[in-house]
Amino acid sequence: MNPRRKQRLTWVAVLVIGVSIASGLMLYALSQSIDLFYTPSELVEGKGDDKQKPQVGQRMRVGGMVVEGSVERNRDTLEVSFKVTDIGPEVTVLYQGILPDLFREGQGIVAQGELIEPTVLKASEVLAKHDEEYMPPELAEQMKGIKHVNPNDVEYGDGK
């Protein structure tokens, strides 16, 4: 093989290996900060075909409907606790801060935070749906079985 061609091949191999290592490190770093979406049923029963449950300490988003009569506010602080459900089990959400104006019992919400117990989420952010029609696409798919949610009437976030 020509020495010049051999040198080019070496540089190309080094470049490919370098890009591969950099891509692998970026993907590993991103996997640590991904917030997976769960419904209360998936959180309790497991998600996917293998019924994999999230681990305590994992960051995630949980979406569902606020259970009627479950909102408890601390009079001295901004601490709020409430339960969220979809079609089955309930998950408790703990939040410290001011809740969105559209937050109320029976309303759909998405809470983002860290799982501190198998069915307790310490939320860093709580989002309420913006009108009577909107529901996150993931939550709309999970809630098709609920009587009061007609999947044909749900406006998806991506405009479909």
In tens digits, what is the pLDDT along the chain, a chain of 160 residues?
A: 788 898 999 999 999 999 999 999 988 877 666 667 888 888 888 887 788 888 888 888 998 899 999 999 988 898 999 999 988 889 999 999 988 888 888 888 999 999 999 889 999 999 987 655 656 676 677 666 554 544 455 554 444 4
* Residue partners of 46: CB distance under 8 A and separation at least 6: 52, 53
Q: Does 134 belong to an annotated binding site?
A: yes
pLDDT at position 132 is 55
* Residue 130, annotated as binding a ligand: yes
Q: What's the rounded Cα separation, in Å, for the pair 26 and 32? A: 10
* Residue 133 pLDDT: 60
pTM summary value: 0.63
Q: What pLDDT is stored for residue 14 in this prediction? A: 95
> 3-class DSSP state for residue 33?
coil
SS3 content of the chain, % helix, strand, coil (to 5): 30, 30, 40
